[in-house]
Amino acid sequence: MMVRNEKSRYDFNFKKSLKKTIQYPIISHFKIDRYINRPLATLVVRALLNTPVTPNQVTVAGFFIGVIAAFLYLGASHGYYIAAGILIQVSSVLDGADGMLARLRNTCSDYGSFLDLFLDRINDYFLFCGIIFGNYLATRNFKFLVFCLLCLALYFLQINLYYLTKFFKKDYKSGQASESRALVLFMVFILSLANQLTLLLILLAIILIGSTLVKVINLIRFRKD
């Protein structure tokens, strides 16, 4: 009979598993990551804590679930949207579980942080493309399609501005904005269930425009300081 090596056992500590996030003025009132995703991620972490599964494997699993969800939107019907929305939320939960698992095992690494950021950006690309083209296949509104593609370009512009600002401030920490991403993905989840992809895309466009303006304004403030 194999005896488990006690040194390989880990105790679950919820506070230790958490990571400090940026508290944006509005988002601080909608803590989806803290009060919905993290408790659900706790179930995943408890199940995996004393298994050979690594945090990076959880990251990759969440990525592929998100990509599958993105392609489901191309089904262009409410049933596909519901399935996609559920998978997106599962992916969002796993996006928090990987870091929690790493912190509890004291196995956090620069590579793990980079892998998480790298796959999140790819996942976001597939997700927004899936929603945009899924909505177009359902509505055949070409003008709205062009508008959404411009917003997709704006998304990656503001992502670049975000990381350029962090570089300017010499802030090399990662994962600080997990609360904002969790809120956006939860909105995707809810409005997918409600069959409101057009409304979802309009709200995402408003968020993107506002986020880009805030980043430009912050740059001007840095210059004055």
What does each of the 225 residues of the chain score in pLDDT, given as a tens digit?
333 444 567 776 665 556 665 555 555 566 788 889 989 999 999 999 889 999 999 999 999 999 999 999 999 999 999 999 999 999 999 999 999 999 999 888 889 989 999 999 999 999 999 999 999 999 999 999 999 999 999 988 888 887 887 777 777 666 566 778 899 999 999 999 999 999 999 999 998 888 888 878 877 776 655
Tell me, what DSSP letter sits at residue 33? I
Query: Are 99 and 175 a contacting pair, CB within 8 Å?
Result: yes
Whole-number pLDDT of residue 28: 55
- Contacts of 212 by beta carbon, 8 Å cutoff, 6+ apart: 154, 157, 158, 161
Domains of the chain: 25-224 (1.20.120.1760)
The pLDDT of residue 6: 47
Instruction: Provide the pLDDT for residue 1.
Output: 36
Q: Is the C-alpha dihedral spanning 156, 157, 162, 164 positive or negative?
A: positive
Q: Give me the pLDDT at residue 126, please.
A: 96
Of 112, 133, 148, 121, residue with least CA distance to 66: 121
pTM (predicted TM-score): 0.85
Reference 72, options 81, 63, 62; nearest CA is: 81
**80-87: long-range contacts at Cβ-Cβ below 8 A with a sequence spacing of 24 or more?**
80/134, 81/134, 81/192, 81/193, 81/195, 81/197, 82/192, 82/193, 84/130, 84/134, 84/192, 85/188, 85/189, 85/190, 85/191, 85/192, 85/193, 86/189, 86/193
Asked whether the CA dihedral 108, 60, 81, 39 is positive or negative, the reply is negative
Residues 6+ apart with CB under 8 A from 177: 21, 22, 162
- Per-residue pLDDT at 3: 39
Query: For residue 88, how far is the Cα from the chain centroid?
Result: 9
Structure tokens at 73: 């939107």
Helix (H, G, I), strand (E, B) or coil at 153: helix
